[in-house]
Amino acid sequence: MEASGADSKTKRPTGRHVEFSLCKVYPHTLCAPHDMRRSLNCNNSQSIGQVNHNFDSGESAYTQYRYFAQYNLYIMKTLLIATHNQGKIREYQQLLADLPFTVVSLNQLQITHDVDETGITFAENAILKATQYAQLAGVLTWADDSGLEIDALEGRPGVYSARYGGPGLSDKDRYELVLSELKATSAPPWSARFRCVVALAFPDGNVQTVEDTIEGEITDQPRGEHGFGYDPIFFLPTFNATLAQVAPEIKNAISHRGKAALKAKQLLAQWR
C-alpha cells in the first residue's frame, strides 16, 4: 500500500545502483542543460543510455528517472541546424519559425567540429553532416548541402560552391572568380540553377533527404543587398531581379532552400 503524506516521499525506490536507458543511445549529452548533465552524473564522452548511476543512499530513483524523462523530452523537441554559415542560419530561423521545435545552431551547442565534406554529390555531403552532427549532439539534426550549378562551367562550382577558389575568399571574391571564368568561355546569358539537398537524421537512426532547385541565369552585373553567397549574380528573369534583390519572404518561398525546407518540414510533421 502506498504511504501518504511525508512518508510517501521516503517510500519511493532508492538504492546504491539503478540503471535506466532511453529509447536511443546517444554519444554524448552536450546538448542537455548543464544542470541536467550534472544530475545525470555523466560527461560528454559517455553515452547517456549506457551510464550506470550510483545514487546516494538518500537520493530518490524516482527523481533520477524524472531527469531521464526530461532529457528524453528535450531530445524530442530540439532540432539542430547543422551549419556554421550565419547566412543559412538566418534563413532557416525564418523558414522554421512555425515548427513546434526549439531550433538550435552548432554555435549554441558549442560544437566547433567541422565535418569533412568528402561527398561528390550534394546528397552525400548533406547526409555526412546530418549523421555526424546528430551523433555529436544526440538530437534530431537538419543539415543541407547546396550550391550553384552553371551549365557553361559544366556544373561548377557545384558541391565546392562554399569553398570555391580556396580558403580565405569572401563571397564577393568567389562570385568574381566565377564571372571571370564565365567570360572566358562564352557570351551571356549563362543558364544556371541553385540546388539544395536537406538531410534529416532522426533520433531512431533513420536518415531521409529531400531536394529542390531554382532555375535562373548568371548576370555579370552583381546587385542586391539581401541574401549571401552567389545571390547577387543569380538573375531571375520572371522577377527581373537577382536573388539578392528580392525580399527575404519572397526568396524563402521561391528559392532552392525554401522549397527543400518545405519538403523537409513535411517529413518532420510525419515523424512527430
pLDDT tens digits, one per residue of 63-81? 544 544 455 545 567 899 9
Q: Name, of 32-46, 59-73, 151-165, the range with top average pLDDT.
A: 151-165
State the catalytic residue, choosing from 35, 98, 145, 171.
Answer: 145
The alpha carbon dihedral of 110, 112, 116, 120 has a sign of: positive
For the segment 111-139, the average pLDDT, to the nearest whole number, is 92
Which residue type sits at 109?
A: L
pLDDT for position 195: 98
pLDDT band at 2 (very low <50, low <70, confident <90, very high): very low
The reply to whether 145 belongs to the active site is yes
pLDDT for position 272: 60
Q: How far is CA 29 from CA 26, 44, 46, 68, 71, in A?
A: 7, 6, 8, 12, 9
pLDDT for position 258: 92
The alpha carbon dihedral of 185, 187, 191, 197 has a sign of: positive
